[in-house]
Structure 1
Amino acid sequence: MPNLEGRKYGFRALVGSWNYNLNEESSDRDYKLFLIPTFDDLYTNHQFSKSIIGELEDFDCHDIRKVSNLWWKANVNFLEVLFTEELLVNIELTSKSKHCINELFKNKDKIVIMNLPYLFNACVGMHITKKNDIDKGTEGTKHLIKMHGYETKMAMHSIRILDFLIRFANQGFKDFKKAIWYELDDPKRLLLLDIKHGKYTKEQYLEMATYMQNLVETEYKNFYMDKTVNIDTNEAILTLVKEIIKEELF
C-alpha cells in the first residue's frame, strides 16, 4: 500500500470476523493500518486517523503512536491486531524498525493481559453500546433491521464480546487467540451465526444478552479486577514505538 497523505505505513493487520472464524462468503475484509507520523505531526502533536472505504477492502488508519494508549486501555478491537490472521509489514522500513514491530508482536501475550481491569470494563461497555444500537444500525446494516426487526450483526458481536470475557477467564488468560477463535464444530459458533442470520427474535436476543451480562458481572468480574496492571509492559511498547519513529524520520 502506498504512503497515505505523506505518511509512510508501518504495518497493516486484518481485523474482524476473519480473526474469529466467523467469516462467511459475504464478509468484508477490514484492516487496521498504522502509519509513521510526519515531522509536522510530531511538532503539532497531531495523531492522524482516517477511514478508507473500498470496493473490496476497508482501511481504518491510525498514527502508530496510538497503539500504546489503545492497548493500555484494552480496546479489544485493537488488541486483536496482535493476533491477526494476516499481517503485512512495510518492506521499505529499516531493518531496525521491522525488528521493533516484530518485538511488539513477540510480546503480544503480555500486552493483552497488562491491564485486565480495563479489558473487562472496555468489553462490557462495548457490549452495552452495541446492544443499545441494535435499533439504529449503519448504512451497511439497516437492511438487517428491515429483515429481522433489529441489527442482528451488531447483536451477534455484542454476545461474542461477553463470551470472549468468559472464555479468556476460564483458561486463565493464557491464550487470547483461542478465546476469540471459534472452531467449526464449536456450538457457540453456530449460536453466534444464528443470531446474525436472524434465527432469534429481538426479545430472545435481549434475554440472552441480559443473562450473559449478569453472568460476567457476577461470576467473572473479580477474575479481571483482582489482576495487577503491568506498567512495565506499556513502557516497553512506548520505547519500541519511539524507536520506530526515530528510525524512519531521523
Structure 2
Amino acid sequence: MSDQHPSGAPWRNFYGRFKGKGLRKSQEVYLDEDLDALSPGAVTWEANPDRTPIDLAALFGDKDVWLEIGFGGGEHLVHQAARNPQVGIIGAEPYINGVAMLLGKIREAGVDNLAVHPGDARDLFDVLPDQSLSRAFLLYPDPWPKKRHHRRRFVTPEHLEPLARKLKPGAIFRVATDIPDYVRQTLEQVPRQGFEWLAETPSDWREPWDDWISTRYEQKALREGRTPHYLTFRRI
C-alpha cells in the first residue's frame, strides 16, 4: 500500500470524529459565512501541495502567536482571545460541530484576533514556520483510555516532535487532563521533546492557571468525580 494520499499528503490515521449530530441552521450559516475568512491560510494538501509556510505576519501583524490544539466548543479559545487582544491565536479542531460552536461564540464576543483551522493539527504543523509560536494549549484531549489505544494520544512523538519545532525557545505549553494515566504519559513524553515541567509545589498542577476558564469538558469531569491536573511546560 502506498504511504501517500493521491493529493501527495502522507497517510495519517485519524481516530476521532469529524461530524456529530446534525447542525442547527444558525451553525450552518456560521460555517458558510465566517469560516473561510478566519482561515489561517492554505493548510490542506490540496490547496498547498508544496507545503508553503503560512505568512503569520500577514495574518496577525507583529503579534505573538498562540495555538490551541483541539479547542472543543471554543470556550477557552474565545476567552483567551478576548483577554489577550495583543496576541493572535490559532485554533485547530477537526470536529466540525465544535468549529460551528466556536464560530457562534466568535460572533457573540466580537473578537478579531483568531484564526480557525477545521482539521488535523498535524496538517497545520506542516505549514507553520518553525519557532513561530509563543504558547500552545492542549486541554482535555481525547483520553483513549484502553492501553492498546495509547499510541493515538496527542502526547506521542508523532505530535510532540512537530509541535516542539513550532514553539519558540522559552514558549509555554499547557496541558489539562482529568485522566491520571494521561498525566503519566504527558510527564514521560513531553520532556523528551525538549520541554521542562514548571512545577515546584503540588499546587502548581492541582490548581488552575490564573487566566483559566472552566470548559464543559472540565465540568463533566468534576461531576463524575475526576480530578483535573494542570501541567505547564517550557520549551528549552
Q: Give the TM-score, by structure 2 length.
A: 0.29
Of structures 1 and 2, the one with the larger relative CO (CA 8 A, separation 6+) is 1
Larger radius of gyration: 1
| TM-score normalised according to structure 1 size | 0.28
Larger relative strand fraction: 2
